[in-house]
């Protein structure tokens, strides 16, 4: 059962850790510790629960530990607002920006879109990467995401939305470079 768990979830766990730490060695350490803790409490495993429940526990540990242990020297710390600083309706800048959504969409249809998104993703803050990884890469639902982040379920919706806005902003920068 544990062996199967390792085969099934170690890649995903590593990926999540790597998103959080941006460093292979630190990610390895985080993942080892998280799995180690799970193995220790394995006799409490309730066989009627899906293994996924334990995977969520792993993700939770990775998230908490990464905040304490990974120092992302080159990263901007955030959840700072990405835009809307003016805060009232659609600014001129945003109206223009929205017009260029077509450029972004078009860029995403191209072959190199995957790399574009991957790079944009890597340049996001830890929290934005974490939430998009959980939501779009791992495919967790909002309740599960709240569990992993230790956040009130009601806040997940806006956090996902903000992370997406940030991703779009990064892609906009790239697309602007390509289109100009």
Partner 1 sequence: MDCKGFEDLISAYADGETTGEEAQLVEAHLKACRACGRRLAFIRRSKDILASMPAPEAPADLKAALRVAAAQAEARSRAEPERPGSPSGKALAAGALAGALPGRAEPRPAGPTLLDRTSAWMGTLSPRYGLAFGLAAFLLVGLWFERRQDDPVPIDVMLSAHRRYALAQPLARTDSDPGSVDAPADDLEDDETDD
Q: How many residues are recorded in the chain?
A: 180
Cα–Cα–Cα angle for 34, 56, 74, nearest 5°? 60
Q: Minimum distance between the CB of residue 133 and partner 1, rounded to whole angstroms? A: 8
User: Is 174 within 8 Å of 167 (Cβ atoms)?
Assistant: no
Q: Minimum distance between the CB of residue 78 and partner 1, rounded to whole angstroms? A: 18
Q: Which of 67, 51, 63 is nearest to 13 (CA)?
A: 63
Q: Minimum distance between the CB of residue 120 and partner 1, rounded to whole angstroms? A: 9
- CB atoms under 10 Å from CB of 104, counted, come to 19
Q: Give the nearer residue to partner 1 in terms of CB position, either 63 or 82.
A: 82
In whole angstroms, give the CA distance from residue 99 to residue 142. 30
Write out the binding residues for partner 1, residues 20-79 only, by CB under 8 A. 24, 28-29, 31-33, 35-36, 39-40, 42-48
**For the chain, what is the total number of helices (H) and then of strands (E)?**
9, 0
Contacts (Cβ under 8 Å, ≥6 apart) of 174: 107, 116, 119, 120
Q: Does 1 bind partner 1 (CB under 8 A)?
A: yes
Given 60, 78, 165, 169, the residue binding partner 1 (CB under 8 A): 165
Q: Can you give the binding site for partner 1, defined by CB under 8 A?
A: 1-3, 5-6, 10-15, 18, 24, 28-29, 31-33, 35-36, 39-40, 42-48, 84, 89-90, 98, 101-102, 104-105, 108-109, 113-114, 117-118, 121, 132-133, 135-137, 139, 141-142, 157-158, 160-161, 164-165, 167-168, 171
């Amino acid at each position: 059962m544990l062996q199967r768990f390792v085969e099934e979830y170690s890649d995903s766990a590593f990926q999540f850790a790597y998103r959080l730490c941006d460093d292979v060695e630190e990610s390895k350490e985080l993942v080892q510790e998280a799995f180690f803790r799970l193995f220790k409490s394995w006799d409490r495993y309730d066989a009627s629960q899906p293994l996924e429940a334990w995977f969520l526990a792993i993700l939770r540990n990775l998230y908490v530990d990464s905040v304490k242990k990974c120092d992302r020297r080159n990263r901007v710390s955030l959840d700072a607002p990405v835009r809307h600083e003016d805060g009232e309706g659609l600014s001129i800048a945003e109206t223009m920006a929205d017009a260029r959504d077509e450029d972004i969409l078009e860029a995403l249809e191209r072959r190199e879109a995957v790399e574009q998104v991957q790079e944009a993703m890597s340049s996001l803050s830890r929290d934005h990467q974490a939430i998009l990884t959980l939501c779009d890469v791992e495919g967790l639902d909002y309740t599960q995401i709240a569990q992993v982040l230790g956040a009130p379920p009601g806040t997940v919706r806006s956090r996902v939305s903000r992370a997406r806005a940030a991703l779009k902003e990064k892609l906009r920068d790239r697309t602007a470079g390509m289109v100009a």
